[in-house]
Amino acid sequence: MSAEDGVREADPANPVVALAEAWLAQDPDGETRAELRDVIAAAEGGDAAALADLADRFAARLEFGTAGLRGELGAGSNRMNRVLVAQAAAGLAAYVLEKRGGTPEDAEPPTIVVGYDGRRNSHVFAQDSAEIFAGAGLRAILLPRLLPTPVLAYAVRHLGAAAGVMVTASHNPPNDNGYKVYLGGADEGSQIVSPADAEIAAHIERVAADGDIAALPRSLGYEIAPETIVDDYVAATAAVAPAPAGAAGLTWVYTAMHGVGWETLSRILEAAGYPAPEPVVDQLEPDGAFPTVAFPNPEEPGAMDLSFARAREVGAELVIANDPDADRLAVAVPDDAAPDGWRRLTGNQIGLLLGWRAARLTAERGAPEGASLACSLVSSPGLEAVADHYGLDFHSTLTGFKWISRAPGIVFGFEEALGYLVNPETVRDKDGISAAVAMLGMVAEARGRGASLADLLAEFDSTFGAFASDQVSVRVDDVSTIASIMAALRAEHPSAVGGVAVDRVDDLLEGVGDLPPGDVLRLWLADGSRVIVRPSGTEPKLKLYLDVRGDSAEDAAARIARLVTGARDLLDAIGS
């Protein structure tokens, strides 16, 4: 590498600088090379902040796990960048080829399909991956343009691919990106689970240990997927809930949250017969800078403010939002008691309504043996009540759709973090677009008999019981703080939360029932309430999930309020 590129002889007295110089030597990205050169120069000049920055960038490798890769964009092994993505692609290619085993050499090579969203560098990372997959001898197929994550998940199954990659950081902060991996075959297009994650990670480590990514074979012989892939997804999703008569005249607001959902959803709405929404124009087209939201997650305070303003302006009956890669769905309804006149439904409320719809339709069509509803263990226990009511099986899984999608006989699955699987024969992952269509179908059916979405919530309570949920979370700067809190809770279980005695504690690290081991504590209280404590899988947060069942909606609301106060007191006590 020339001096013009800023690569100098490594300083043996400073191992972090040596790592950074070695990284520079293989980085193909001019932007991250320039970024890293500036940090190195400042660090060598004695700048303490630059030294700390450099140490953080190379303190570790961004870990590849069951969520794939996800992290902040930038230079270094602890950031998302072209070097790390190239290593990941080569490692995944080696894994896929290894799994082919004894396939004859003249057989068709395994297929791997790549999708990408509108975040910064998503297209670059996707193209790098396609070239490396093709260079490794795989049949690599790149989706034709930026598209929602569910389209990639659909394409993995539709194309009979051995694996798929979606370049996205979903609803993470603007300067993040990620690398989500799906498996075909027996995995049916679901996200990876253990041991596949560890096996892929081992291959990635071997690639990284070999050094220069410039030595990795590349090929421009990858394919561009035909538009028929998107057409088929549109047709299958429109069929989830063709518009009933009650859809006529529906006024609703939609936001894509600066993501990739609108183009695909708009085609589906037309095919299914729904009226077009009143869009939040400033958030409709993809923009990786996310200029109107500090945090592009519909769950975050303020993220849907523009949607609510638009809804007030047009007199809407509901608001529907997708997150930036359109695998999540948020819904809001008018509420005079809310400060701005609108209330976002919780993920549990949406999940229970969609689960009710799925169970009813399954029962009407004649439920096959083993048909089931499934949700993550931190989601509302109300779904089990729905399954019991309709004679369906129920499965509680570890958090994440990589587990939910694998529930035997699944006809519907959800997690409280705004994720819903409503069409498992099409997509074995959360899908905010098909969930939006299913929700519009429910709303339109209710309108046809003079009911609103709020009325549906009340009908659910009267049919299945009044369930209420809430969450308390703590965001930390140092992730080791989370491990310390979990250790403290394990060392001494609380005797009560919110004045209600703790009956028993399940520590999932030891494995409970059919659940695989996980870093989760589940506290069962004497009044039937539940508190679950776990680290977030995608953010530096500790989360407490709270669930109650009341005699009425008002009783449930009072119970959950007391439990929230108790959970906060518990965290304060540990922190002190």
Residue 421 near residue 429, CB atoms below 8 Å = yes
Instruction: Enumerate long-range contacts of 447-451, CB under 8 Å, 24 or more apart.
Output: 447/246, 447/247, 447/250, 447/317, 448/244, 448/245, 448/246, 449/246
DSSP state of 185: G
Note if 2 is an active site residue. Answer: no
Of residues 454, 460, 468, the one with CA closest to residue 556: 468
> DSSP per residue over 506-544, as a string?
EEGGG-BTTBPP-S-EEEEETTS-EEEEEE-SSSSEEEE
Rounded distance between C-alpha atoms, residue 363 and residue 368, angstroms: 9
Structure tokens at 104: 């004859």
Radius of gyration, CA atoms only, the chain: 24
Rounded distance between C-alpha atoms, residue 269 and residue 261, angstroms: 12
Secondary structure class of 140 (helix, strand, coil): strand
Strands 419-421 and 410-415: antiparallel
Q: Which amino acid is at 424?
A: P
The active-site residue out of 77, 129, 170, 380 is 170
Tell me the CA distances in angstroms from 152 to 73, 169, 266, 524, 529, one per residue in order.
22, 14, 18, 39, 39
Residue 280 near residue 307, CB atoms below 8 Å = yes
DSSP state of 452: -
Secondary structure class of 393 (helix, strand, coil): strand
Q: Which residues are catalytic?
A: 170
